[in-house]
Structure 1
Amino acid sequence: MTYQQTLDYLYSKLPMFTRVGAAALKKDLHNTLAMCAKLDNPQNKFKSIHVGGTNGKGSTSHMLAAILQQAGYKTGLYTSPHLKDFRERIRINGKMITKQFVKDFVASQQDIIQEIEPSFFEVTVGMAFDYFAKEKVDIAVIEVGLGGRLDSTNIITPELSVITNISLDHTNILGDTLPEIAFEKAGIIKKNIPVVIGEKQTETEAIFIQKAKAENSSISFAGSSLHIENAHQKGSLLIVNIYKETQLIYPNLALDLTGSYQLKNILTVIESILKLKEIGYSIPDEAVYTALKNVKKLTGLQGRWQTISKNPLVICDTGHNKAGITEVMQNIKNTPHQKLHVVIGMVKDKDISGVLALLPKNATYYFCQPNLERALPTNELTKQAATFGLKGTEFNTVKEAFQNAKSKATPKDLIFVGGSTFVVAEIL
């Protein structure tokens, strides 16, 4: 098979969560373990950091990978979903996995794929672990796909577990209360392995503490031990001063990821770096400063409060649940503009009304649907939006909606594109 045929095979043959939703999920780790056993258990051949949480796990993973890479470690990075190219999911020192490896891997695994009928995600995880083992990475940052306890990535024994935060998302799969979701996410806490929790939340704190105690794991809450003062924007960078208790440990740290939600993520990242240094990793301050100023360049991260063009200002963001959209609204409020134009599409299994309730009534909306089976049909989105007083026009495709917004906006307006990772992917 050619590379393109290989991808077509993966997309069409294997159940894929992004396309069909919960039906693609396997309820245990059996397939991933079977696949990795056939590959001679690559997950045991490299060191790793496991990153879970509801929001911020992608940005946190990319920042950690950038810092480790800058500190001289050969660093693997596994994230999902991809925005433009399947190979974005699997990188070493920022470079995507080769097309040849993807082709060879799928060709060599045909028998087991036929036999156990794994999901798309299970195959991708096996591929990533095999690649990192064969390329002998020093360490790999592994982002959880969904949940934690039963996620395919949860067959690793990492050096450090990281959980960014907990909010309501994928409630049809993970449970519809914060404690239920926290229980699933806490499944990545392993015996004697330290864990960093990003945000301390009243409803979930006890669950993490209990699980860490049961596993004899040291636990720290980044938001409790560290804090930020005097955060401000300087050109295209976000500048922060990070304190541990009363001591200034990172003065004037510049981030090229500038969304206001990165203020939470950066504390998680720094707490994780402090933990890694404690267990023997050599990470000079200089590596932290250089990496965080160049995350996008070093790791290829896209879609996080990303400026696409100016005059009018066009910004996209992959936030797609209540917590994510709350942060997006904060960023929009902090961005000077005359009129707001919102290009929005969503997928069916999200908290649609929870998100729509947060959107401003005085914006012009361009309703659309991303090109996948899980997409919420445009007419349904328009109907639901109307009940929240949001008015706009329907379009058949994301591209049409975006072109229309660009033709209507004046140079001082702001066009925001979002509502779903897949809407952002189509624009990028």
Structure 2
Amino acid sequence: MNTLPVTLDAWFTRLEAMHPKTIDMGLSRVQQVKMSMQMAFACPVITVGGTNGKGSTCAMLEAILLRAGYRVGLYTSPHLLVFNERVRINGQMVDDAQLIAAFNAIEQARGDVSLSYFEFTTLAAMWLFAEAGLDAVILEVGLGGRLDAVNVLDADVAIVTSVDIDHTEYLGDTREKIGFEKAGIFRTGRTAICGDPVPPASLVEHAEKIGADLWLFNRDFNYAGDKQQWNFSGRGNRRNALAYPALRGANQLLNASSVLAALEALRLRLPVSAQDVRSGLATVELVGRFQILPGKPLVILDVAHNPHAAATLAQNLDNMGFHPYTHAVFGAMQDKDIEGVLAHLKGRIDHWYLTDLPLPRAASASELRDKILKMDDGLKEGDTEHSVQTFASPAHAFANALSRAGESDRIAVFGSFLTVAGVMEFRNSAQH
């Protein structure tokens, strides 16, 4: 009998070595372990899928439901600094001991079923939520929808925030193919919400084919607003004079509208007051989503890593007012549409600080430099107004950007969770 690890790090080492593939799409293994554990929820379950906006949508749902006094479980991925960020109960990250107990429970229940790291940890989060006796469970889909481990639960409400091109090797290379994968989280007779203003036909057709109750933006719910406040209208419910969400950015009202549509669908089981909505939206926090750090120069952290998110980042930068120079710390994964990301930021960045990332599938800083120089013919050798440099780590890149930026400038850190995490770690260590 092999003994089980007693620390979280030892558990992660074990999990990473346990299954031959990092990403292994399919539900049969997770379903088998879930059934053997008789894992079920009496409370409403909300799943949130989509290309971008999942994290913000989950954070707003959690904030409003907590304000309303409910006991809430939230599962998200990936994490920025510590794994515990992925599993929250009542707004608090679970501690190492809780995770170790959950890992022990899954290990004992799985028998000879081989689980990937993501499948194992997703089941552990579900087990913690089942044990905690919650009023609501919110689960962020890791990748796609139809074959993602989260989809072993039948959600009472499933939200697809947006559909764009990403993870093409798993989900297909068109919005129609990807829309079908995302729509896999919808269920017969249950509420299915799509916040994308131009939903793929495949998503709508799948929802109709299985008999889900589909809510579409601009048909079943929408918003209107001025500079001071905004209003939401759903099928039978209006919420007026709402403050803007504390999460900044051009697309947050779309995300907030999907959240309010979900809460309208659940109003008999999880009633929330206008004040709960206002307080929740006013206080919601989410690290690394157009997050502006206090101090000078201004630092913006944004995990934008596909063209759709980069377009939003560009729009948000444009809305910020004048800064003499914009510096960018950028690192990205090889399998992303890097040219598509860069195209949206062309002409907006004066100085690039490109970084290697600590993963084999990351693009190297020199590869990123070649793409930028090819794209932006305005960058010339010896030009003091513009520059492109390469660095071995996000910390080195950011330290250099800080040393060169004037106090009225701004530094945008984006391109990957690992880029943002590297800068956060550097800032944390500098403060201690």
Aligned to 1:396: 392
Please name the residue that 1:9 is paired with: 13
Alpha-carbon separation, structure 2, partners of 1:393 and 1:180: 38
Q: How does 1:207-218 map to 2 (within 5 A)?
A: 207-218=202-213
Pick from 25, 34, 37 the counterpart of residue 36 of structure 1.
Answer: 34
CA distance in 2, matches of 1:294, 1:110: 38
Distance 1:244 1:116, change over 3 A: closer
Q: Within 5 Å, which residues of 2 pair with 1:8-407? A: 8-10=12-14, 12-14=16-18, 23-38=21-36, 40-110=37-107, 115-201=112-198, 204=200, 206-224=201-219, 225-231=221-227, 239-243=229-233, 249-277=239-267, 279-296=268-285, 301-336=286-321, 337-361=323-347, 362-389=349-376, 391-407=387-403
TM-score normalised by length of structure 1: 0.90
Q: For the structure 1 residues 31 and 46, does the alpha-carbon distance in structure 2 shift closer, same or farther, using more than 3 Å as the test? A: farther
| Code of the aligned partner of 1:343 | V
Cα deviation for residue 243 of structure 1 reads: 4.6
Residues 248 and 72 (structure 1), Cα distance of their counterparts in 2 relative to 1, 3 Å cut: closer
C-alpha distance after superposition, 1:35-85 (max 9, x if no partner): 2233x2324454311111111011101111111121122111011001111
Tell me the distance in 2 between the aligned counterparts of 1:368 and 1:9. 26
Unmatched 5+ residue regions in structure 2? Answer: 380-386, 425-432
Question: How far has the Cα of 1:291 moved from its partner?
Answer: 0.8
Residue 178 to residue 282, structure 1, CA distance change in 2 (3 Å): same
Q: What SS does the corresponding residue of 1:424 show, helix, strand or coil?
A: helix
- Paired residue type of 2:340: G
For the 8 Å contact 2:8–2:96, the answer to whether it is kept is no
Q: Indicate which of 418, 422, 425 corresponds to 2:414.
A: 418
The aligned amino acid for 1:34 is Q
**Match of 1:20?**
none
Aligned CA-pair RMSD: 2.2
Equivalenced residues, count: 408
Q: Offset at 1:246?
A: 12
What are the superposed Cα offsets for residues 172-194 of structure 1, whole Å, 9 maximum, x if unpaired? 11000000000000101111111
Letter in 1 for 2:422: E
Tell me which amino acid in the other structure corresponds to 2:307: K
Find the aligned partners of 1:209 and 1:100 in 2 and give their Cα distance: 43
Q: TM-score w.r.t. structure 2 length?
A: 0.89
**Could you say which residue in structure 1 is the equivalent of 2:384?**
none
* Residues 401 and 34 (structure 1), Cα distance of their counterparts in 2 relative to 1, 3 Å cut: same
Q: Shift in Å at residue 269 of structure 1?
A: 1.3
CA-CA distance at 1:293 after TM superposition: 0.9
SS of structure 2 residue aligned to 1:307 = strand
- Unmatched runs of 5 consecutive residues or more in structure 1: 17-22, 233-238
Indicate the SS of the match to 1:157.
Answer: coil
User: Amino acid of the residue matched to residue 92 of structure 1?
Assistant: I
Report SS of the residue matched to 2:46: strand
Is the CA contact 1:50–1:141 (under 8 Å) kept in the aligned structure 2? yes
The alignment partner of 1:154 has SS state of helix
The 2-side partners of 1:403 and 1:245 are apart by 51
